[in-house]
Amino acid sequence: METTNKQMTDMEIAVYRTRNQRIVCAAMRNSNGKIIASPRHWDPIAHQAVKHSTENWDTAEQGFLTNYAEFVSREEAYKIAIYHNQITRSIGYDTNKLYSEHLY
């Protein structure tokens, strides 16, 4: 999106970001807003991070990080991945939620 001598409105920024957002990895966010990013939810990398954390991760929300380092829910991530043709495989059932198995 080109801009000419004017500041982008919040709406323009939101549209621009949505159109250019990509899913980059799985992530978990706990109730304190802390995030652990890893290739898959609860993979060995995530387990190591939890092991060395003083935070509670038992009820962490599973989602994804975008290329803007923004945490998004599985539902929002699915929309982004669909829009940008990031889904490379079926996981055996239709869903409106993204799973890392969809991506790699």
Read off the pLDDT of residues 16-35 as tens digits, 9 standing for 90 and up: 677 789 999 999 999 999 99
**Most distant pair of Cα atoms in the chain: their distance:** 50
Tens digit of pLDDT for each residue in 26-70?
Answer: 999 999 999 999 999 999 999 999 999 999 999 999 999 999 999
- Residue 44, domain extent: 20-103
Give the tokens for residue 1.
Answer: 């999106």
Q: Is the pTM of this model over 0.75?
A: yes
The C-alpha atoms of residue 41 and residue 88 are separated, in whole angstroms, by: 18
Q: Is residue 6 part of a domain?
A: no
Sheet containing 23-29, strands listed edge to edge, beginning at the edge strand earlier in sequence: 35-38, 23-29, 61-66, 71-73
Q: Of the candidates 27, 24, 77, 78, which has an alpha carbon nearest to the alpha carbon of residue 57?
A: 27
Q: Is residue 59 part of a domain?
A: yes
Q: Tell me how many domains the chain contains.
A: 1
Q: Is residue 11 part of a domain?
A: no
Q: Is residue 13 part of a domain?
A: no
Q: Is residue 25 part of a domain?
A: yes
